[in-house]
Structure formats: C-alpha cells, structure tokens
Structure 1
Amino acid sequence: MFLSKRYLNKKGVVIAEIDGLNETYDDLIDLSVGEHDIITDEHVMDRAFLDGRIGHTKYTDPLGDKALIKEVVKLYENTKEENVMVTAGASHGLYLALEAIIDKGDEVIIFEPAFTAYKDQIELVGGKCVSVSTYEENNFNIDTNELLENITQKTKAILLNSPNNPTGAIYDRHILESILQVARLHNILVISDEVYSAFDYNNTFSSLLDIKGYEDMSMVVNSFSKNYAMTGWRVGYAIGPEYIINCMKNINEGVCYTPSSISQRAGIYALRNKARIENNIKELYEDRIDYVIKRIGDIKNIHGEKPEGSFYIFLNIKKTGFTSFEFCRKILKECHIRMIPGNVFGNCGEGFVRMCVSNNLDTLKECFDRIEKKFF
C-alpha cells in the first residue's frame, strides 16, 4: 500500500460513488450532476478550432493567453492585467490561491451548505475548514454576527460562493460590504467563487470586485464551465492582488503550467459574445426552474422556492419524515430519479435534497409525473 495517510480513509463525494445511491437503470433520470445537457456555442467552437489550425497549439504565457486576459480585465472595473491568471477552471484557481496563502493550521471560513470541494481543498493545503451554517428561514444568507463569532487569530481567509451551490442564494451588495468590513478589521483575505454569475434571476448579483476600496484583500475565481456551457474545456480565471497571482503562477509551474491553449482561445470568443450566450443559457434554465417550482407546488410534503441564482433547486423534504439520504434512496429505487442528499453539503443541509435542472422540459415532466404517481 503506497497511499498517503491523508487519503487512506478518504471517500469521494461524487454522487455515483455514494454507497446506496450508485445504482443505475435504463430509464434513469439523473438530476444530481451540475452538467449541462447543451453544448458549447457553435461560434465559440468554430473560432477556437480555427485558431488551433493556424497555430494556437503551443504553451501560452504561464499567466494565460494575453488576449484572454485583456477580455477578462474588461469585465471588472479597476482590475489590471497583472491581477489576472487564467486557470484550468475555478477549482484549479481556488486550489492555487489556497496553496499560496495557507500555512499549516490556518483557518478558512466557509458557509454551509457549501460546494463539497471547499473543505477538501482547504485541508489538502494544510488548513482548517471552519464551517458557519446558513438557514432557509434567512434565505441561506450570511449572518455577519455568526461570522464574527467564528473569527480567530488563525483565520486567514473567508470563502464565499455566490450564486450559491447548492442553495441558489445570492449575497447582495450590502452583505458583501459587511463581510469586507469585517475582514478589513481582522486582516483577512476574502475569496469569492462566482462560477454561476450568469444565473441571476432577479438581477441582484454583485461581484466581490464591484465593492471598491478592498482590492488589496479581495479575490475572485470564475469559470467558463457553467456560464458558457464549457465544462469540458477546463478553463477559468482568478483575479487578486498581484503578489498572490504571481505566487499562484509559480506554484502552477509544477502542476500544469498553463491550461489548454485552444480552450483559452475559446474563452476569448465566449467573452466577446458574453451577453448573447449568457442570456440564452439563463433564459433556458429559468424556464426549467419555473416549471419545476410549479410542479413541486402540487406535491405534498415537499417544498421548494425559486432560487435567486444557479441552476439548482434545494428542496425541503422535512415533512416527508425521511432523512435526506433516505429520500434520495427511495426516489432512486422507486422512481429511478437521482438527486443529492443535502447533508453532503454540510450538516445544516439535512432535510434537503439538491436537484439540478440540466434536463429538457420533457424529461423534467417525466420526472415529476413519476414522483406524483409512485411516491407521494
């Protein structure tokens, strides 16, 4: 056995690997994975492949393709090229940022329910993950008083995710300002994962970088995966203080050096067509969400509110009498529908399940027809 002790008892959190929820059926409807059922915009693909044919098949600068960096800078006021690094997706950017700033024992505060990779990445770089719960009755928003109670002398960073996976909550400008004020007082870096930024159904989303005067203590990671249906291209970016970006670049020279050059070219054309592509995807998913919320309203003991953002619905199933796992197990066995137990995202997610609406309306109709006929 050659495994590191850190990984001897480590289990994956991919839903297909969770014991009791990994059965498959010929007519399975999978609502568990945050993956699109649509493909990347044809114009983006055509231009990227053309660029490959004319020579963009080599290493780019270790900070990223200069043309892509220029397009990213246009999105954020007061951001300069030296503040940007192109990464192989947002998770890669977040890992490099944490590796750059965390010493052994440093604490990073996250807000649960939370994307499962956060805790793993924090611990992987030697940090300690400190979880602060958020609750449905407060729309899963952050209570700055609870945040203050969890800050210690070891707190190095606060990690946000807005729009949130799995709850769909969006932290409005007032909340972001309050968090930054707290962080300034305690000399803490704030990192914001904004990979669902296009999925803003009430036009309430603000980037952390929209709050001026905190550029020295703010970082954003983003990706083309969700906003542009480009999950397989593996390209995103990180924005932050220049000295952190440079450290991330140095770390990455021993990891993957640069993301795919052709993927970076695709990112250029995605951003140049940002409004059209994002609006089309947002409208598609909002129609699906509206349909699902309507169908949920007809099912006894299940409750779901339209999310402010993302393409997930965090269903409250407490009145069914089942735990989150029991509910997912039952709906898989009896309806051949796969969802994710809410407690995978933290203890305060118990009593909820996450469903992704990345299926067409016909499939979603079939899904809820099954639930109504066989389950409740």
Structure 2
Amino acid sequence: MRYASITERLASLGSEKWAIHIEARRRKEKGEPIIELTIGEPDLPPDDALLAEATRAMHAGRYRYSNGRGEPPVVKALVEKYSKRRADITSDNVLCFPGTQTALFAVMLGLVEKGDAVLVGDPLYATYEGVIRATGADQVTVPLRAENGFHMQPDDLERAVTPQCRVLLLNTPHNPTGAVLTAGEIAAIGEVCRRHDLWIVCDEVYEELVFSGSFASPFDDPELAERTIVCSSISKSHAAPGFRSGWAVGPADFANRLLSVSETMLFGVQPFIADMTAYALTNPIDTSAKMRTAYKRRADRIVTALGEAPGLTPLSPEAGMFIVVDVAGTGMDGEAFAWALLDEEQVAVMPGSSFGEGAGDFIRISLTVPDERIDEACRRISALAARSGFRKEKRA
C-alpha cells in the first residue's frame, strides 16, 4: 500500500526521541523505583479554582461544538492579556488551539511548504524538527553556544540564513537550556529577520517561569509586530498540561488566513476548557509563582551537588523547569550517560541528542519532583559519574 510522504518525513521524529522516558515509565509500571526526571510535567496540580471552573462549565452545558477561532470568553481574555503588551491587539489577532504543540503545527503549516526553510536554534525542543518537516520545509539550525549562555547570536543567525529561509522559530525562555533573551538581543535578532524578510514564530510557553529579571519578546517590539506570531498555552504557567489549551497571536491578516486551516483541522477547542482558560488568564492564580520558586531552588541544588561530581558541568538555567548538564567529562556522550543512569541507578533523564546535534554531550534534568527526590537523584548521578572511568561505550 502507498502512504503520503509526511509519514516518511516524520518517521523518526515522534516517540523515538522519548525512548528513555517511555522505557522508564514501563519499568515504573513493573514496580521499579525509578526517579523520573524526563518531561516537563509540573508536580503542582492546577489551582482548585480552575478545576472548579471547568466542572461548573461542563455542568452548565459547555460541551457542545465550539467557535473555530476560539470561544468568546477566552478570546476576550487573550485580547486583554496581549493588548497590555501591544495596544493594537483585537480578536482578529487571536486563534485558539489545543495546546502549544498544535498551535505551532498549524502556524508552520500556514507559513512554509516544500522548497522553504525554517531557522531554529540548536539545541531545540524535541518536537520542533517534526513541526518543521511536517510541512515539507527544511530545517536550518543556528548554533546556541554554552559559552554564550545558549543565547542566540545575531551573527550566527546571519550566517545561517539561506535564500530559502522564510521563518525563524524562536524559543524564549528556552527549552532545554532555560536561556532567556534580553530585549536588546531580541532587537538585534529581529534586525536580521527584517533584512531577510523572515517571520518570527516565538514559543513563549515558559513566559511565567523566568527566575529573575524581565521577560522580553519580539511581539512587544513595534518594529517586529508585522512579522511576529506568539504561540503559548496554560500548560506550564498554570500546571495544566493535560487540558491542552493554547493559542497563537499575530497579525490580523495571518490569523484570518490561518483560520480556515485551523477550522479544517479542529474547528475549535472544548468550551469548558476554554472557560477554564479564560478564568486562568483573568484571575490572580499563584501557581506560576510557586513553581518559579521551587524550580529555581531545585536548579541551585543540582548546580551545587553535580558541580562537585567528576566529569559533570551543570549549567544554571535562567527560567523554565529544566537544567542541562554537560557529561562529556565522564567520557560518555549524553545518550550513553542517560541509558547508563537508567540501567545502573534507576534515574531517568533525557539525553541531549533528543534536542539536536548541539546538545549531544548534555543530559536534560526536569526540576518537577520534590527536593528530596532531586537530592537523591543527584547522589545517584554523581555515583555514576564517579565510576565512569572515562568510558567511551555507547548504547546500541
């Protein structure tokens, strides 16, 4: 039988990148005492008020077909949120989706196709390559260097641009490294995008989890407004990843053109979840503040503990719910170290190879478990590093 070419383009870009996470879950189900530090699943539950609002909405009959652009309450809430950042925002600028992932998929589908290319920093979030290649476009990477704190450099971006490039997929705060771009850095990156007439698609899902200083976005720069599209959700900010509630906000012409794509895919999101999202965006909820405090504290504990371990170099994040650790000093790359850690110490982390070639010597550790589990995981990670003996083996 015949299949569409998209199945080939995405053949190794799905669950294969999460092989260690999937295997760790399998072992946990068998009763093994795995410390799971793989995915960004907050250890705090959603605020009780959000669950109460979703329940209220369901019992009020808010489970019927939805508006293709988004339910009016959540569209209104998003207009209020983003008009504080830019006064020209109206409902014409907003599209709602079930989660940031779906928003990114639809946005890319509306901007690029075969023969085009998308620029993205490397390291990069694990699903970005699939989102890009699903469209038929090529991925062009821009190196994010540890010596620059994984902040994208305008000169590196300039060197990476090809005539086929149409979009820069930007992620700040950044996953997996936790880097947060400054307004000045964004302006310099934006100038490159203006010269080459590039769209900027900015994944801002960790906006509420910046540890110190302010959050900056190309969306807020009037010089970049016509070319910037923001994608985000309540998954991280409100500890509600399973509710799948996200959005895209950009130029009105873009949103109007993409509406038919969105409606063909989904024709709206669940109204009761939209009501919960509207409540989350318009009421004081302290979930993100609690997470910021906890994740910064846990990141600091890891830096202290693993900084003393042989062959390991933890790199402090500026935001988010992860920390990356350079394991090259152990003689293993991130893939080999992560599998050895699972097999020998029953700790599950993500290998850097899931996040691009530039992260091959790293592991990514989630900060979403209690402090005592973080401390125990650090003891086990340090133990593996101490006996690594500069091993060169790589798991087959």
TM-score category, normalised to shorter length: over 0.9
Letter paired with 1:323: D
CA distance in 2, matches of 1:75, 1:182: 28
User: 2:351 — aligned with what?
Assistant: 341
Q: How does 1:203-214 map to 2 (within 5 A)?
A: 203-214=213-224
Q: Secondary structure at the match of 1:214?
A: helix
Q: How does 1:294-373 map to 2 (within 5 A)?
A: 294-373=304-383
User: 1:10 — aligned with what?
Assistant: 11
User: 1:253 — aligned with what?
Assistant: 263
CA distance in 1, matches of 2:311, 2:380: 16
**Does structure 1 residue 42 correspond to structure 2 residue 48?**
yes
CA distance in 2, matches of 1:305, 1:62: 43
User: 2:394 — aligned with what?
Assistant: none
Letter paired with 1:50: R
- Contiguous gaps of at least 5 residues in structure 2: 387-396
Q: How does 1:10-29 map to 2 (within 5 A)?
A: 10-11=11-12, 12-13=14-15, 16-17=18-19, 24-25=27-28, 26-29=32-35
User: 2:113 — aligned with what?
Assistant: 103
- CA contact under 8 A between 2:351 and 2:362: conserved in structure 1? yes
Structural RMSD (CA): 2.0
Change (3 A) 1:374 1:119: closer
- CA contact under 8 A between 2:20 and 2:350: conserved in structure 1? no
User: 1:198 — aligned with what?
Assistant: 208
User: 1:83 — aligned with what?
Assistant: 93
Letter paired with 2:49: H
- Contiguous gaps of at least 5 residues in structure 1: none
CA distance in 2, matches of 1:174, 1:233: 35
| 1:248 CA displacement | 2.0
Letter paired with 2:270: S
User: 2:66 — aligned with what?
Assistant: 60
- CA contact under 8 A between 1:189 and 1:217: conserved in structure 2? yes
Q: Please point out which of 156, 160, 176 is paired with 2:170.
A: 160
CA distance in 2, matches of 1:180, 1:19: 36
**Does structure 1 residue 71 correspond to structure 2 residue 77?**
yes
Letter paired with 2:279: Y
Letter paired with 2:256: N
TM-score (normalised: structure 1): 0.94
Q: Please point out which of 249, 253, 256 is paired with 1:243.
A: 253
Change (3 A) 1:286 1:273: farther
- CA contact under 8 A between 1:90 and 1:237: conserved in structure 2? yes
- CA contact under 8 A between 2:73 and 2:274: conserved in structure 1? no
Letter paired with 2:7: Y
Deviation readout 1:310-343 (Å, 9 max, x if unpaired): 1110101111111111111111111100111112
CA distance in 2, matches of 1:83, 1:150: 30
Change (3 A) 1:20 1:121: closer
Letter paired with 2:177: T
- CA contact under 8 A between 2:17 and 2:126: conserved in structure 1? no
Give me the identity figure in percent.
25
User: 2:393 — aligned with what?
Assistant: none
TM-score (normalised: structure 2): 0.90
Deviation readout 1:160-180 (Å, 9 max, x if unpaired): 000111011111111111121
Deviation readout 1:232-268 (Å, 9 max, x if unpaired): 1000110011121122220122211111111111111
CA distance in 2, matches of 1:309, 1:357: 11
- CA contact under 8 A between 2:20 and 2:348: conserved in structure 1? no
CA distance in 1, matches of 2:162, 2:380: 49
User: 1:278 — aligned with what?
Assistant: 288
CA distance in 2, matches of 1:20, 1:33: 10
Deviation readout 1:195-237 (Å, 9 max, x if unpaired): 1111101223212212123211111000110111110100011
CA distance in 2, matches of 1:227, 1:20: 25
